[in-house]
Amino acid sequence: MILIADSGSTKTHWCLLANNGDVNEFLTDGINPFFQTSDAMQNSISNQLLPQMGHLMWVGPVTNVFFYGAGCTPEKIPFVTRALQAVFKKAQVEVNSDMLGAARALLGNNEGVACILGTGSNSCQYDGEKFVKNVPALGFILGDEGSGAVLGKRLVADLLKNQMSEELKERFLTQYNTSQADIIENVYRKPFPNRFLAKLSKFAAENIANPQIYALVYDHFNQFVIRNLKQYPQELPVGFVGSIAYYYREVLEKVLNDNGITLANILQDPIDGLRDYHKKDLIPTE
């Protein structure tokens, strides 16, 4: 059996592929080596994942683990590898970044540009095996165009600066039971302001028929194209993973079409594409 993982700071999505083709999926807390030690990651896997997998272990041992995660830089990969090898002692373990996971999920072994549009954003040019080029994401303060955090930041700023209708502003404040003071507190004084802003960005999806909201979302994705995608070869197809790309698909497709960019595909969750990518690693049942 092979085990595939797509992990962020909040959750890890696991997929267990049996040699006979059976598929089982599990969710655990996020695993991120920037915030956890090898021991903490090992404990998380042992205490949360193994109990869910227990009834399946009679099928056979896990022979390969393919882990794709946020924070899995070259410097941090050994820490994640050590945690996984401590749990799956007889398995071959391969740890890569979430960006490579997105590229493999979206493009397989084909050349193209892979993008992540979730709470944050990122992109890379992929030659079918590895990265060729990456425009730095820079986080939601300096970059992250196209992300939920930046969309939330722009939406809230426009509402509070009276750049949208008073009716829209009041509906937003009422729906989220919030105020300008509360928003300032969460953005400037509390941890994870990017997550807070990304949650508020859902208001844009719910009100996308409003011309002011639509114009904001269109420009939001257009900035991602201008500041990121225009730096890659324009003949390459572009694929997207992440909730922002998935739920704003129609606006995103319009922006790409207006810029003459070929869309490869859009996936809400990379685990679906990664499952197909790694089927070749299965040992078929006799």
What is the model's pLDDT at position 31? 83
Strands 64-69 and 23-29: unpaired
What is the model's pLDDT at position 284? 60
What is the model's pLDDT at position 119? 83
What is the model's pLDDT at position 84? 93
What is the model's pLDDT at position 29? 86
Amino acid at 33: P
What is the model's pLDDT at position 285? 52
What is the model's pLDDT at position 235? 93
What is the model's pLDDT at position 138? 82
| C-alpha 190 chain-centroid distance | 23
Say whether pTM exceeds 0.85.
Answer: no
Phi, psi of 93 (to 5 degrees): -115, 130
Cα radius of gyration (the chain): 20
What is the model's pLDDT at position 95? 95
pLDDT per residue rounded down to tens, the chain (286 residues): 899 999 876 788 999 988 877 888 999 988 888 778 889 889 989 999 989 887 766 557 888 999 998 888 889 999 999 999 999 988 999 999 989 999 999 999 999 999 999 888 899 999 999 999 999 888 778 888 999 989 999 999 999 998 899 999 999 999 999 989 999 998 899 877 888 898 899 999 999 999 999 999 999 999 999 999 999 999 999 999 988 999 999 999 999 999 999 999 999 889 989 998 998 877 665 5
CA distance 49 to 39: 15
Structure-token pair, residue 282: 């299965």
Give the Å distances, CA to CA, from 283 to 19, 88, 93, 194, 241: 6, 18, 16, 42, 28
